[in-house]
Amino acid sequence: MASRPRDYQLLCEAIDGLPGIGAQAAERLAEWLVYRGDVGQLSDILTRIKHSEHCKHCNRIQCQQDCQSGDDAARFFVVTSTEMLLEQLSMLVDYCGPLFVLHGELSPANGTGPSQLCMDDLLASVEAFPDASLLVLSSDSVEGRTTAEYIFRRTGRGGERVSVERACEILRGHD
For the four alpha carbons of 139, 153, 168 and 166, in that order, the dihedral sign comes to positive
Q: Binders of Zn ion among 91-150, rule CB under 5 A?
A: none
**Nearest C-alpha neighbor of 85 from the set 18, 21, 139:** 139
Q: Binders of Zn ion among 66-85, rule CB under 5 A?
A: 67
For residue 167, the minimal CB distance to Zn ion (Å) is 19
By C-beta, is 59 or 155 nearer to Zn ion?
A: 59
By C-beta, is 63 or 92 nearer to Zn ion?
A: 63
Q: Does 170 bind Zn ion (CB under 5 A)?
A: no
By C-beta, is 66 or 175 nearer to Zn ion?
A: 66
End-to-end CA separation in angstroms for the chain: 67
**Which of 33, 63, 92, 128 is in the footprint of Zn ion by CB under 5 A?**
63
Tell me how many residues contact Zn ion (CB under 5 A).
Answer: 5
For residue 127, the minimal CB distance to Zn ion (Å) is 15
Q: Binders of Zn ion among 33-62, rule CB under 5 A?
A: 55, 57-58
| 3-state SS, residue 136 | strand
For residue 140, the minimal CB distance to Zn ion (Å) is 27
Burial of 73 (0-12, 13-18, 19+ CB in 10 A): exposed
For residue 81, the minimal CB distance to Zn ion (Å) is 17
Residues that bind Zn ion (CB under 5 A): 55, 57-58, 63, 67
